[in-house]
Amino acid sequence: MSLSPEEYREHLATTAVRAGFSFGEVTLPQSHEFHLGRMRFHYLDWGNKHLPPMVFLHGGALNAHTWDLVSLALRDEYRCIALDQRGHGDSDWSPDADYSMSAQLADTKGFVDHLGLDRFILVGMSLGAINSLAFAIAHPERLNALVIIDAGPEIRRPGHRSGALDRTVLANDYVKNDCAIHAPLKKRWVHWGDHVNQVCLLNILFDANSMRLLRPCRL
């Protein structure tokens, strides 16, 4: 990030006011790097390691700073950690131009393994939501909860034109380790806690204990 710490703090304070937040103190995250294979990854850790961990994956063409205000609002209750996914932010581009879902699933797993996280909350938006859903299907035992924003577990129905999604065909057909999602998709506006109830995010929460319950929730 090109801003100095003072500029970054001022930027967050100004943005928070414009968004309707009120923070007594603007705390900056710690910037960290780790290596996975041939690639270097960057992430932001907002501190409070004693609190339940919450991992954030941003959308396409965005970066870990997408979650700055959300992390500021939640850091008193959760340890908020935001990853720059491959090819985004301050993380490396893939040396072999591999941006497949399997590669990004391996990135997510490598990231939480590096942090030593288990039973954490995984939050993803758009591209990050797809990658979060892939992680939940592959490793449901690692999650306490999954929040996906601006994406859904949709698949193409045979015979539909390219790019057309059947929104009635959901994740019922995804099966992993004998666990399937059976409930119909439901959506609603929810709040990120009482103290930030002006920020509403469309999300879907999967019960990671069984991967059988699909329900809206309030964190």
pTM reported for the whole predicted model? 0.74
The pLDDT tens digits of the residues spanning 34-85 come to: 999 999 999 999 999 999 999 999 999 999 999 999 999 999 999 999 999 9
Q: What angle do CA 86, 205, 73 make, to 5 degrees?
A: 70
Any idea where the domains of the chain sit in the sequence? 28-215
At 216 the pLDDT is 34
Average pLDDT, the chain: 76
CATH number of 28-215: 3.40.50.1820
- List CB contacts of 164: < 8 A, sequence separation 6 or more: 156
Contact 140, 89 (CB under 8 A): no
Q: Which residues of the chain have pLDDT under 50?
A: 162-219
